[in-house]
Amino acid sequence: MAGIKPVRLGVNVDHVATVRNARGGIHPDPVRAAALARAAGADGITAHLREDRRHIRDADMARLKAEVDLPLNFEMAATDEMVAIAETIRPNACCLVPERREERTTEGGLDAAGQAGELAPRIARLKAAGIRVSLFIAAEERQIAAARALGADIVELHTGAWCDAVAEGRQGAADAEFARLQAGARQAAGLGLEVHAGHGLDFETAAQIAAFPEIVELNIGHFLVGEAIFIGLEAAIDTMRAAIAAGRKAASGGAAA
């Protein structure tokens, strides 16, 4: 396993916009947070333009693309409205996520297997626009196979159930979820898919999952923005990078960083 590449860190700035929108003004600006994240060593910026615009808004997404010199990962529901916006903004990648209006966050993975008919034309449009396509899915064999069949470039494995089990001290469930993620990462990489992961990650869980050699990128938002309240965004990103590098290094027998 020697020589595996460092894991890329995508910083999700949605919740900077959540705080801004709580007061209805322009502060704090998620684009300023993205620029700071870049200065702190982030490899990419992630933002989710939800159907209800509860945090990131259309203008934020356009400014993230225009003003921040990092690959932009545009999270969105697989709707014609969002595909049209992505075709205009032309992010580096679109990560298709399930979206329900009443949920607090993206609660489950995309049903790539069950919704293949609706996803296929939208994926084709994004790819035709030169945008890489990622599907946010649970680490389930049939979902990963469906992502491959749909021509996705990337799968982002949903780490939420694992992180919840870890946080709640449910060791058996945490171990089972971790094993499921590991098997999913292997399956996806074996099919030629780029493997990302995200949702609910903190310093400890990010370090643990960075040990999977198949993982190319982690997308992390809520914890970093929360931690920024206490230690600042730059320090939070710095500590996260160090945690991820340590997890990766342990996996590669000390050869990678």
Q: Give residues in contact with ligand PXP (CB under 6 A).
A: 12, 14, 48, 75, 95, 97, 105-106, 136, 156, 198-201, 219-223
User: Around 250, how many Cα atoms within 13 Å sit in the side-chain half-sphere?
Assistant: 11
> C-alpha angle with apex 84: 80 to 87, nearest 5 degrees?
135
**In angstroms, how far apart are the furthest CA atoms of the chain?**
50
Nearer to ligand PXP, 43 or 252 (CB): 43
Q: Decide: helix, strand or coil at residue 247.
A: helix
- CA atoms of 222 and 199, how far apart (whole Å): 8
Nearer to ligand PXP, 178 or 223 (CB): 223
Instruction: For the CB of residue 160, give the shortest distance to ligand PXP in the complex, in Å.
Output: 7
Instruction: For the CB of residue 1, give the shortest distance to ligand PXP in the complex, in Å.
Output: 26
Q: Which residues are catalytic?
A: 48, 75, 199
Q: What is the DSSP letter of 245?
A: H
> Can you spell out the DSSP letters for 90-150?
--SEEEE----TT-SS--S---TTTTHHHHHHHHHHHHHTT-EEEEEE-S-HHHHHHHHHT
97: tokens are 């996520």
| Block residue for tokens 């993982």 | 215
Which residues make beta-bridge pairs with 76? 96
- CA atoms of 198 and 46, how far apart (whole Å): 11
Which residues make beta-bridge pairs with 86? none
CB 203 within 8 A of CB 140: no
Instruction: For the CB of residue 17, give the shortest distance to ligand PXP in the complex, in Å.
Output: 11
CB 19 within 8 A of CB 256: no
Nearer to ligand PXP, 155 or 256 (CB): 155
Instruction: For the CB of residue 47, give the shortest distance to ligand PXP in the complex, in Å.
Output: 9
